[in-house]
Structure 1
């Protein structure tokens, strides 16, 4: 495989974030750096590469905080619908996942139709495909 092909398969898609959410998420990631170093680093990396805009300029199909996201995990073909929330509001049984989980950090900023290669809690790489986004 050429280096150009390798770069294309490992490149992450462009993402967008709301400015005030990017600030809040940066503070959150830094506050858990010692307790959750991997997730903190992953979230900070995503914030660092995001195009940051005001809430009024973010497209309706971008995953933001409190958005409900339907995505497919290609590793097992399952489709899940979850709401992306801050840790205090997380409740996996109710379908609310924390931004401080590997999946939560991977979903933020993606748009309908985009996919991302992302590590799960066990270190396996999975492909997540965004099927639908509903924002509150």
Structure 2
């Protein structure tokens, strides 16, 4: 049943955009994490496979890239969070710095303000996130 849920969720995923630099580093990160964190590494790799890659100088406005601070809303719970998307070594939950190597971080990368995506929680539940606002990357 989980497989059919993730296949139907994949069919409805929005288009995403990544910078060349983010794509290169995230690809290496997903490959390196394949043995230690296979579920998240596979999810991130799938996101990378479907992304449109653009030069860093040509990123669209209001795009979630590495280092971006954004506000998102969980459509199931109504909870709104303001977080910064970072690489694993910079993650700090107390400072709202979430790693791209978490299911929610991998789901948010490449989205633009106003887009939403379904994502699997670690417990296997499917949630829908809406990117409410995107601030400039640091």
Q: Once the 2 structures are TM-superposed, how far is the Cα of residue 9 of structure 1 from its aligned partner?
A: 8.9
User: In structure 1, what is the equivalent of residue 61 of structure 2?
Assistant: 60
Three-state SS of the structure 1 residue aligned to 2:49 is helix
> What SS does the aligned partner of 1:118 have?
strand
Q: Report SS of the residue matched to 1:40.
A: helix
Do the aligned residues in 1 keep the contact of 2:18 with 2:52 (CA within 8 Å)?
Answer: yes
Normalised TM-score (structure 2): 0.91
Corresponding residue pairs, total: 131
C-alpha separation between the residues in 2 aligned to 1:121 and 1:13?
A: 21
Checking the alignment, whether the CA contact within 8 Å between 1:83 and 1:95 is kept in structure 2 is yes
1:49 alignment partner in structure 2:
50
Distance, in Å, in 2 between the alignment partners of 1:8 and 1:120 is 13
- Structure 2: gaps spanning 5 or more residues: 1-7
Pair 1:97–1:9, CA change in 2 (3 A): closer
List alignment gaps of at least 5 residues for structure 1. 1-6
- Superimposed CA distance per residue, residues 66-119 of structure 1 (whole angstroms, 9 cap, x where no aligned partner): 000100001110000100000000000000000000000000000011000110
Alignment-derived partner of residue 21 in structure 2: 20
Secondary structure (helix, strand or coil) at the match of 1:129 reads: strand
Summarize deviations over 1:18-57 as a string: whole Å, max 9, x none.
Answer: 0111010000010010010000000000011000001111
In structure 2, the CA distance between the partners of 1:84 and 1:9, relative to structure 1 (3 Å rule), is closer
Alignment RMSD = 1.6
